[in-house]
Amino acid sequence: MKTQHGGKRYGFFSGALWGLDTVVLAIAVAMTPFAEFGQKALVGAVLHDVACAVILMVYMAIRRRLKETWTALHTRPGKSVIVAALLGGPIGMSGYLIAIANIGPGLTAIISTFYPALGTLLAFIFLKERMAPRQIVALLVALGAIVVTGLSATDDPVGGGNAILGIVGALACVIGWGSEAVILTWGMRDEAVDNEVALQIRETTSAVVYLFIVAPIAGVFGFTLHSLAHLSAGVVALAGLAGTASYLFYYKALSAIGASRGMALNISYSAWAIIFALMLPPNTIPKPTQVICCVVILVGTVLAATSNWGDLLPKRTEKVTSSQA
């Protein structure tokens, strides 16, 4: 039971920190030199994952666990984490960015939000994870609230965008992120790959592929190096720090409570992003609809991750009378 409660806390923290990461990264790419660059989102993703990989390298070195990561790379579960990294990082995130460029951020957010639904189905098929009907309903309600939030933030259609390419990109994101969590959960069932080792493999793989394959193909490698000389790169690193902590909690949640419940809690980042956007410059004030959706998302994700909803109620302490003593 303690593991279940701890896993839910990990999932909740992962969502909050990813919401913070999202807002800080948005602040960074609005600064010089990103602001005037057409592919700033891609460059931000490259720098973000490189920062996460470096932070994790230092973290694992301090903990003297680098050798464990190297050993895990030669195991079957370790190699499965590499596959998950490619699905969730370069494939999933690149699809997300392609969708934003062609159909806009609002519609992209709406479609991509359904990765937990696919992940839950895959976890049911391959990991034999089960969720009670009421948990599935809670998850669907939370997803519905995220859709409403996305609709309220939807911008005008992207001029000159390829709608079909945008939809394909968003679907690649759903498949990449949904399957990543399931593969990772399977890989971390082996003693050779715990959540910290899995995360280092994931982030290092993603950073290397982004920096040396995706960035050169997209023609942003030079600009990525040029951006390192600006203050905004430091802000990206701060986002990466929050992202690294979010990933650590997320992987611990996947390991403790499984892919379905871990993903359900992680998508609470949609609500946390609105909260942090209000707290941090430029202090974006949410619409009333978004405030209501925040509450629905947070409550829905917690209920979706909780098997026995009675556990969420305050425990009644039994009074012992003097006559019973």
| pLDDT given for residue 40 in this prediction | 87
d(CA 233, CA 239): 10
Residues 69 and 197 sit within 8 Å (Cβ to Cβ): yes
* pLDDT value for 20: 93
pLDDT tens, residue by residue, 139-166: 999 999 888 887 766 555 555 678 888 8
129 has a pLDDT exceeding 70: yes
Nearest to 113 by CA among 295, 302, 271: 271
* CA distance linking residue 190 with residue 186, whole number of Å: 8
pLDDT value at residue 192: 81
Question: What CA–CA distance (Å, rounded) separates 208 from 6?
Answer: 32
Residue 198 DSSP one-character state: H
Minimal CA–CA distance to 290: which of 154, 148, 155?
Answer: 148
Q: Tens digits of per-residue pLDDT, 247-281?
A: 999 999 998 999 999 998 988 888 898 899 889 88
The predicted pLDDT at position 96 comes to 85
pLDDT tens-digit series, residues 24-76 = 988 998 899 998 888 888 899 999 999 999 999 999 999 999 999 999 999 99
Quickly state the pLDDT bin for 325 (edges 50, 70, 90). very low
CB 78 within 8 A of CB 193: yes
More confident residue, 162 or 219: 219
What rounded mean pLDDT belongs to the chain?
A: 87
SS3 call for 68: helix
**pLDDT at 318 > cutoff 70:** no
Residue 5's pLDDT is 63
* Per-domain boundaries in the chain: 2-309
pLDDT attached to residue 281: 85
pTM given for the model? 0.85
The amino acid sitting at 120 is T
DSSP line for 214-275: IHHHHT-HHHHHHHTTSHHHHHHHHHHHHHHHHHHHHHHHHHHH-HHHHHHHHTTHHHHHHH
Residue with tokens 């997803």: 143
Write down the pLDDT at residue 68. 94
